[in-house]
Amino acid sequence: MITRSITAALAALVLPLAAQAAQAPATAGIFDGNDYVSHYTGPGGQTALTNQALGEVVDGGNGAFDAFGFYNSGVNGLGQTRQVDLLSGNVFRFFDTFTNTGATTVSTTLNFFGNLGSDGDELVSRQQSGLIVSCENSGAGSCGNDPVLALVSGNNGLGHAAITPDRYNVSYAISLNPGQSLSLLHFAFLARDENGPTADDVTLADTTGQALLTAPRLEGLSAEQASSIANYTLAPVPEPATWAMAALGLLVVGGRLRRSQRNTGLASR
């Protein structure tokens, strides 16, 4: 069962990408307090000089964001550390750990926030628990110039996400005892053909968002970090032999597709 799930998740990521034209790359827009980079590890909060949020993404590529990926209502005295990465394939990942360093229980609502680059209404093509797929509304029922976004906030219903009208908010009601920690994991995927958004980009964003719900990308995170994630229910980590079987399964599927294409070509001659 695990092997079939892994194979399906990998195929969901690989096959749509193969069918796409060249994608416009996301850009290193993660604010580290001084510059815009592709990786940030450090505290949360704002810088004193510019009041920008540490680890927020600015632009991100083709005007995707004005400022995305921070907690705009504060953290109610909790300690916060962040790891924000631009992963391969135009995926921004936000990993935040909150710790109660006080002597009493803290119950609060955390709000993960993003100001989208559309500066107006978003055209939402999917809204389900943990996933919103949207794009800039051209005003004619189609996507404008900004990338299509897949915004992923977990698969266990802990977060409640909404876009109104170009502000993305995910709220979490949490309670931490003294010394207790938890982590929240978010993804933002950008899909945009290098010549501008297409209907295929909406499909790609939807498929990739679904894949990130099923199998969140955890590369670069430790096992301890992964075990602290509160807004995902993670599948058991497979043994190396299971990964090998999944890879073999993808090779078999690829071989069958190639043979089918060859046979179709011969039949049409």
CA-CA distance, 19 to 96, in Å (whole number)?
Answer: 34
Closest CA to 212 of 57, 121, 92: 92
Q: What is the pLDDT of residue 135?
A: 96
Report how far residue 241's alpha carbon sits from residue 158's, in angstroms, rounded to the nearest whole number: 33
Question: How many C-beta atoms surround the C-beta of residue 211 within 10 A?
Answer: 22
How much is the pLDDT for 51? 83
79: left (phi over 0), alpha (psi -120 to 50) or beta: beta
Residue 18, pLDDT score: 44
Distance CA 83, CA 86 (A): 10
In the predicted model, residues of the chain with pLDDT beneath 70 are: 1-21, 49, 237-269
pLDDT, position 118: 92
* Nearest by Cα to 70 from 30, 128, 122, 27: 30
- For the whole model, what pTM was predicted? 0.82
Q: Is the dihedral of CA 31, 61, 17, 165 positive or negative?
A: positive
- Identify the pLDDT of residue 19: 45
- Say what the pLDDT of residue 250 is: 53
CA separation for the pair 189, 175 (Å, rounded): 29
Residues 82/45, Cβ–Cβ less than 8 Å: no
pLDDT of residue 49: 67
Contact 165, 120 (CB under 8 A): yes
Task: Report domain extents, the chain.
Answer: 18-235
Tell me the sheet residues that pair with 124.
134
Q: At what angle do helices 199-214 and 2-19 cross, to 10 degrees?
A: 160
> 183: which 2 tokens?
């982590």
Give the pLDDT score at 134: 97
Using one digit for the tens of pLDDT, what is the confidence trace for 187-212?
999 999 999 889 999 999 999 999 99
Question: Is-contact 171 151, C-beta < 8 A?
Answer: no
* DSSP states along 218-233: -TT--HHHHHTBSS--
Q: Judging by beta carbons within 10 Å of its beta carbon (0-12, 13-18, 19+), is residue 89 exposed, middle or buried? A: middle
> Three-class SS of residue 200?
helix
pLDDT at 236: 72
Q: Terminus-to-terminus CA distance in the chain, angstroms?
A: 41
